[in-house]
Amino acid sequence: MQALREIHQITSNTLIISVPEAFQNRSVEIIMLALDENTSQVSVPNQNWPPDFFEKTAG
């Protein structure tokens, strides 16, 4: 499954999204979520992960 994630600052009631060629002529699902600017980072309890483990392995 291919995914596209973009974050936009909405300034009007219209949003234009450029669709990648791989998505053309296909059905897609569009989900809009408001980002909360005041969210804090989730802390992960120490489970003896090596230092920088998540930074090195996450996307």
Residues 6-34: tens digit of each pLDDT: 888 889 999 998 989 999 999 999 999 99
Spatial contact of 2 and 23, defined as CB atoms under 8 Å apart: yes
- How does DSSP classify residue 33? -
How many domains is the chain built from?
A: 1
Tell me whether residue 28 is in a domain: yes
Instruction: Give percent of the chain with pLDDT exceeding 70.
Output: 81
5 in any annotated domain: yes
pTM, whole model, 2 decimals?
A: 0.49
Is the residue at 51 inside a domain?
A: no
**Range of 23's domain?**
1-32
Q: Is residue 16 part of a domain?
A: yes
Listed as own residue / partner, the contacts of 35-39 with beta carbons closer than 8 Å and 24 or more positions apart are 35/7
Residue 20 lies in a domain: yes
In a domain, 44, yes or no: no
